[in-house]
Chain A
Amino acid sequence: MAEAVRDAFGHTLVQLARENSDIVVLDADLATSTRVVYFAQEFPERFFQMGVAEQNMMGVAAGMALMGKIPFVSTFGVFASRRACDQVAISVAHCRLNVKIVGAYSGIVSGNNGATHQAVEDVGIMRAIPHIVVVDPSDGVETEQVVRAIVAYDGPVYLRVTRDVWPRVSPEGYNFVLGKAVQVREGVDVTLIGSGMMSSQCVEATHILSRSGIDARVLHMPTLKPIDVEAIVKAAEETGGIVTAENHNIYGGLGSAVAEVLAEHAPALMKRVGIQDCYGECGGNAELLCKYGMSPQHIAEAAQSVLQGRNYSVRRL
């Protein structure tokens, strides 16, 4: 059974904390959901319960980073990005402090909590804040490497952490490198670029496309900032068309980042699959992906329309 990103995050953090006594964790009363509870159990003296007060939590983390700590600030993505936005910008990013901000239950697939708990704009917010590295891993295998990499990296990071188990995307022998994309499926007709759990939906979409004789490439983009320009340009030049798929609003996230690269370096026809500038609602993950135009079927249709050079609009399944 594959491991959910949140579980891999929680377990890896404990492993790293055994080697690195500078790691501290700050929680806003969500430790069991975010899985920093594992850390709290093993390192109670380094676990700081901050209560339901995210703005102060972000600032306290900044102060701890000044003292050489590596604070992991853990809450839901909606609160990390929106509630504490000014603290992230001024106390963490402007000061270029070594704070790791962990936004759990990212995107629309957030454990049937509905719109208030679905982070659909967190990547856009964090990407727009100078100095912040933004990472959106796909599965547990990758997450373990991501957590190691961001501890090794000295600077502010926003890490997206999904709640549930999604099909594994990481290839055998995968080696995550901060800022680098990874090709998880070869293909020549079109490239599907995914981030987070949506990369698994891209892989699913390739099976649908195969039935129509379309050989789609899948490029997984775990680091959303800095974005891997070289990999995007290569995909555009080699396959012509691009489809992005993200667990986020189509504004400000992966689709925007890829569009920026294509427009400046390698203009190509592209379509963006993601949340179409709206808030979500309650429901199961598969139902939400289907209703909000983010299912493998939607990705496949976007790819077909790119190939046909047609305008694509979301069809309700």
Chain B
Amino acid sequence: MSSLSEQEIRRLEEIARRIRCRTVRTISEAGVGHVGGCLSEADILTALYFHVMKLDPQRPDWDDRDRFVLSKGHGAVGLYSTLAERGYFSPELLKTFGRINSAFQVHPDMHMVPGIEISTGALAQGLSAALGIALAARLDGKAFHVYCLIGDGESQEGQIWEAAQTAAHYKADNLTVILDYNGVQLLGPVSEIMEIAPVADKWRSFNWAVVEIDGHDMRQIITALEFAEEIKARPCIVIAHTTKGKGVSYMEGKAAWHGKPPNEKQLAQALVDLGCDRAGDAYG
């Protein structure tokens, strides 16, 4: 395990804040995008792309890179903002998001954006693909690790559990799944739309290693991901308890902000909430 200094935690938290700023601005300006789920996943993506994963933004096709699959493809802007921040492409390009002829689709397209491993958006399909990458990697004797982020609404799909059963059967210990458990989906609380609890018990009963964390606590996220990578003979899921719309006062925990872009006035408030209005902030 790497040492995790307070300084490193603060660095990562600052990056996550910048990613959130980029995310709300991009979605607001485009008038489209799933802002609530992008904000809940931001700390997880920051931990992966800035601390945990072996990668090289200059060589997005590097054979031995760790892989990340955004199975909850609706979180595309969060991922784009993360990749931009990490140097995969210029953040300026995100101004085209959601517009005609843009590489930045509302759900990510592997053939258009460097760093996107597979196109996702039809829920649950990313997890199966991530498992396929993991099984092929093992066949080839590759040492890299595969990370896959799923959503809680997405966990209502049967395919998630087909993949869960198969990954455990194959003892795919080179696969780590992270559940962005923000508890809210398009029409309301997950517990009211279609309860997935006790979701940790479900994964345990599918023979997965299960870790539960606060998905906004950077130290907990990184500790859990590093723990997951060490586990042998079974796959691991990190159940990250998160808040939909995290960081923006009026969005937090609200289903209304699943897929609604903030207007200009709301954006201004969001940027204040996120501390993006400070002098010298690139996103002010």
Contact in complex: B133, A63 (CB < 8 Å): yes
Chain B 99-139 near chain A by CB (<8 Å), digits 1 or 0: 00000000000110000011101101111111111111101
Across the interface, name the chain B residue whose C-beta is closest to A96.
B111
Q: Is B162 an interface residue (CB 8 A)?
A: yes
State which of B21-29, B163-171, B265-273 sits at the interface with chain A. B163-171
Q: Is A66 an interface residue (CB 8 A)?
A: yes
Q: Is B207 an interface residue (CB 8 A)?
A: no
Number of B interface residues in the complex (CB < 8 A): 31
Q: Is B281 an interface residue (CB 8 A)?
A: no
Contact in complex: A66, B169 (CB < 8 Å): no
Q: Is A38 an interface residue (CB 8 A)?
A: no
Give the distance to chain A from B125, nearest Cβ to Cβ, in Å.
Answer: 5
Contact in complex: A63, B159 (CB < 8 Å): no
Q: Is B198 an interface residue (CB 8 A)?
A: no
Give the distance to chain B from A122, nearest Cβ to Cβ, in Å.
Answer: 20
Q: In this complex, which of A45, A55, A56, A62 has the most chain B Cβ atoms within 10 angstroms of its Cβ?
A: A56
Partner of B132, one of A51, A66, A86, A89: A66
* Chain B residues with CB below 8 A from A71, complex form: 132
Contact in complex: B133, A66 (CB < 8 Å): yes
Kindly state the separation between the CA atoms of A50 and B132 in the bound complex, as whole angstroms: 11
Kindly state the separation between the CA atoms of A165 and B127 in the bound complex, as whole angstroms: 39
Q: Is B280 an interface residue (CB 8 A)?
A: no
Contact in complex: A60, B110 (CB < 8 Å): no
Interface residues of B in 131-162 (CB under 8 A from A): 131-137, 139-140, 158-159, 162
Kindly state the separation between the CA atoms of A34 and B199 in the bound complex, as whole angstroms: 37
Contact in complex: A59, B127 (CB < 8 Å): yes
Interface of A is mostly: helix
Q: Is A46 an interface residue (CB 8 A)?
A: yes
Across the interface, name the chain B residue whose C-beta is closest to A53.
B162
Give the distance to chain A from B205, nearest Cβ to Cβ, in Å.
Answer: 17
Contact in complex: A66, B118 (CB < 8 Å): yes
Contact in complex: B125, A59 (CB < 8 Å): yes
* Chain B residues with CB below 8 A from A61, complex form: 132
Across the interface, name the chain B residue whose C-beta is closest to A94.
B119
Contact in complex: B159, A69 (CB < 8 Å): no
Across the interface, name the chain A residue whose C-beta is closest to B117.
A66
Q: A91-B118, A95-B119 are in contact. Are A55 and B128 (CB under 8 A)?
A: yes
Partner of A67, one of B121, B125, B127, B136: B136
Give the distance to chain A from B151, nearest Cβ to Cβ, in Å.
Answer: 16
Contact in complex: B159, A55 (CB < 8 Å): yes
Interface residues of A in 20-67 (CB under 8 A from B): 24, 45-46, 48, 50-51, 53, 55-67
Contact in complex: B163, A56 (CB < 8 Å): yes
Kindly state the separation between the CA atoms of A66 and B165 in the bound complex, as whole angstroms: 22
* Chain A residues with CB below 8 A from B135, complex form: 48, 60, 63-64
Kindly state the separation between the CA atoms of A67 and B142 in the bound complex, as whole angstroms: 11
Contact in complex: B118, A63 (CB < 8 Å): yes
Interface residues of A in 72-106 (CB under 8 A from B): 86-87, 89-91, 94-96
Give the distance to chain B from A105, nearest Cβ to Cβ, in Å.
Answer: 22
Contact in complex: A60, B128 (CB < 8 Å): yes
Given contacts A60-B163, A67-B133, A90-B122, 14 further A-B contacts (CB under 8 A): A48-B170, A53-B166, A58-B128, A59-B128, A59-B131, A60-B132, A63-B128, A63-B129, A63-B130, A63-B134, A64-B135, A68-B136, A86-B122, A94-B119
Interface residues of A (CB under 8 A from B): 24, 45-46, 48, 50-51, 53, 55-69, 71, 86-87, 89-91, 94-96
Can you sample 28 A-B contacts with CB below 8 Å? A48-B135, A50-B166, A51-B165, A55-B124, A55-B128, A55-B158, A56-B163, A57-B128, A60-B131, A60-B166, A62-B129, A63-B131, A63-B134, A63-B135, A64-B132, A66-B132, A67-B133, A68-B136, A87-B128, A87-B159, A90-B122, A91-B118, A91-B122, A91-B128, A91-B129, A95-B110, A95-B111, A95-B119
